[in-house]
Amino acid sequence: MRTVTTITEVRAVLDGVRRQGNTVGLVPTMGALHAGHASLMDRAADECDVVTASLFVNPLQFTPEEDLASYPQDPAGDAQLAEDHGVDVLFRPAVAEMFGEAPLTTVSVAELTDRFEGASRPTHFAGVTTVVCKLCNIAGPCRAYFGEKDWQQLVVVTRMIRDLSFPVDVVGCATVREPDGLALSSRNTYLGAEARAAAPVIRRSLQAGADSLADGERDGARVRALMVALIEVEPLARLDYVDVVRADDLVPVERLHGELRLLAAVRFGPTRLIDNLGVTV
Ligand code: AMP
């Protein structure tokens, strides 16, 4: 595995890969890598000739009161995990390399970003789409791998790539979970023992919503109420939102049919966790 830190170098390497007739896979991450990230790398390694993963804690996607300064970092562990999961080129730029000059240009996606994570974290998605746009422009034509764990992000990025005709195929990858159902997240390391024990309530709530759909429930309000009630049973959990939406455009639905996503965001003390589950009825 080769580690590169400059835009010029990673671009030259990946241009060379394509000139030789090989395909490129891109896995954007913020580091503190875990088995969820590893699953994206494994899939990219299966489907592409050369895999590049980026490790960049993107300051643009943190709102001012968020955890940018304390975001977990593990450079040595990240390099090992990436190498073990088929990454050929690790792109690890400094903030100055990516945004040395504070950007005057940002890329933002309308409508899809005004709710859920966008409502709770204003400016977050413009930060995400700006950095993903930049990473795609740096990497060039490729397949880009994103986790379903961040469902809204996946929908937003897919739309940006379509709207702006990027030569990039977006690939969504299934959420990797702990044995007790908690979705893996770099932010899980913030949870104390009690909050960690309580956190699987998110997945139980989503699963209860999905089970009620499987049992024939078609009323959105009743599914939401069921999911809320389950989360409220857990004293350490503070609900941010739950909803049932159309999977492709995140519009909340009342009469449930088609491809749906159950979404949840819940706080445990200062730590905010998100998760989601897909259901087709
Ligand atoms: P992050 O480092 O949190 O920005 O995540 C980088 C990529 O990994 C994003 O596309 C995430 O959706 C994805 N990811 C994070 N957690 C998981 C997980 N538990 N399962 C699958 N993908 C994940």
Identify whether 124 is a catalytic site residue.
no
Distance CA 92, CA 111 (A): 32
Encode burial over 162-192: b for 16+ CB neighbours within 10 A, e otherwise.
Answer: eeeebebebbbbebbbbeeebbbbbbbebbe
pLDDT higher than 90, residue 187:
yes
Q: Is the CB of 135 under 6 A from ligand 1?
A: no
Q: What is the pLDDT of residues 10-35, one digit of tens each?
A: 999 999 999 999 999 999 999 999 99
**Nearest protein CA to atom 11 of ligand 1, as residue:** 147
Would you state the pLDDT for residue 58?
Answer: 97
Q: Is the CB of 159 under 6 A from ligand 1?
A: no
Distance CA 209, CA 242 (A): 10
Q: What is the pLDDT of residues 140-154, one digit of tens each?
A: 999 999 999 999 999
Q: Is the CB of 188 under 6 A from ligand 1?
A: no
Would you state the pLDDT for residue 227?
Answer: 98
**Which pLDDT band holds residue 102 (cuts at 50, 70, 90)?**
confident
Would you state the pLDDT for residue 62?
Answer: 96
pLDDT higher than 90, residue 281:
yes
Q: Is the CB of 279 under 6 A from ligand 1?
A: no
HSE (CB half, 13 Å, CA atoms) of 21? 0
In this prediction, residues 66-90 reach a mean pLDDT of 97
pLDDT higher than 90, residue 101:
no
Nearest C-alpha neighbor of 26 from the set 3, 2, 5, 49: 49
> Sheet containing 24-29: which strands, arranged edge to edge?
2-4, 89-91, 50-55, 24-29, 142-147, 168-173
**Nearest protein CA to atom 6 of ligand 1, as residue:** 29
pLDDT higher than 90, residue 244:
yes
More confident residue, 103 or 129: 129
Would you state the pLDDT for residue 240?
Answer: 97
Share of the chain above pLDDT 90, in %: 98
Q: Report the DSSP pairing between strands 24-29 and 259-268.
A: unpaired
pLDDT higher than 90, residue 156:
yes
Distance CA 57, CA 31 (A): 7
Question: Ligand 1 pocket check: which of 78, 129, 149, 168 to mutate, most ligand atoms within 8 Å of Cβ?
Answer: 149
